[in-house]
């Protein structure tokens, strides 16, 4: 598969591998529909459940190729999703994710920061707790409460946004943090 772009660059996609481990190679840069000769390449490998398990970015010029970065996803969960991602072959440079019934439950980013997500009975995220590092004693907690047609978000107990909707979905009013010093949220009413 190929595409020639208006700026004179080209893109190609090659599909290789097997049915249980397909590999997609996407090249973009100088060239034509017959092939990209200089530019960047992204190569993705998927497992039998359709989840990406390797991702590599590189630059190339003819036959010369230099890897810019890559990650490998391991430790699959029951659905086949990788939950541990190691970057550039460095076991100390990783990201971990955990899934719950209806989406992401928690994640640990490469910089050591963590985020945990809580969901209500309707599977909506209502609380997010973010820590900048594992020993963080003052995490940032964002909560969203949906009561009927009113949705309110707070960050560490302070209002960040609030909205009220009509049954047809139209927004009736919104509130935002105090901007004029009167200690009351700013309200905008829509007609």
Tens digits of residue pLDDT in 128-139: 999 998 778 888
Question: In the structure encoding, which two tokens stand for residue 142, read together?
Answer: 């964002």
* Count of domains for the chain: 2
Res 148: pLDDT? 83
* Residue 66 falls inside a structural domain: yes
Enumerate long-range contacts of 183-190, CB under 8 Å, 24 or more apart. 185/159
* Residue 117 falls inside a structural domain: no
* Residue 78 falls inside a structural domain: no
Res 32: pLDDT? 85
* Residue 101 falls inside a structural domain: no
Full residue range of the structural domain in which residue 49 is found: 1-73
CA angle 169, 174, 178 (to 5 degrees): 165
- Counts for the chain of helices (H) and strands (E), in that order: 0, 16
Question: Which residues of the chain, if any, have pLDDT below 70?
Answer: none
**Residue at token pair 């660059």:** 9
* Residue 10 falls inside a structural domain: yes
* Residue 93 falls inside a structural domain: no
**DSSP H or E segment with residue 115:** strand 114-119
Q: What 3-state DSSP class applies to 87?
A: strand
Res 110: pLDDT? 96
Q: Which of 56, 73, 90 is the last residue of a domain?
A: 73
* Residue 57 falls inside a structural domain: yes
Res 58: pLDDT? 97
Q: Which of 47, 73, 99 is the last residue of a domain?
A: 73
Q: Which of 43, 73, 103 is the last residue of a domain?
A: 73
* Residue 139 falls inside a structural domain: no
């Amino acid at each position: 598969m190929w595409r020639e772009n208006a700026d004179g660059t080209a893109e190609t996609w090659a599909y290789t591998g097997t049915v249980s481990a397909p590999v997609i190679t996407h090249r973009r840069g100088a060239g034509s529909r017959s092939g990209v000769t200089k530019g960047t390449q992204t190569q993705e490998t998927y497992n039998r459940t359709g989840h990406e398990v390797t991702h590599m970015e590189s630059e190339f010029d003819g036959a010369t190729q230099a890897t810019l970065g890559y990650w490998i996803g391991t430790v699959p969960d029951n659905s086949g999703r990788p939950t541990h991602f190691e970057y550039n072959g460095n076991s100390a440079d990783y990201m971990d994710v955990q899934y719950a019934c209806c989406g992401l439950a928690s994640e640990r980013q490469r910089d050591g920061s963590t985020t945990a997500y809580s969901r209500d009975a309707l599977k909506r995220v209502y609380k997010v707790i973010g820590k900048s590092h594992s020993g963080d004693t003052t995490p940032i907690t964002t909560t969203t409460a949906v009561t009927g047609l009113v949705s309110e978000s707070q960050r560490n107990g302070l209002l960040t946004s609030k909205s009220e909707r009509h049954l047809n979905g139209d927004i009736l009013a919104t509130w935002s943090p105090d901007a004029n010093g009167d200690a009351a949220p700013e309200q905008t009413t829509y007609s």
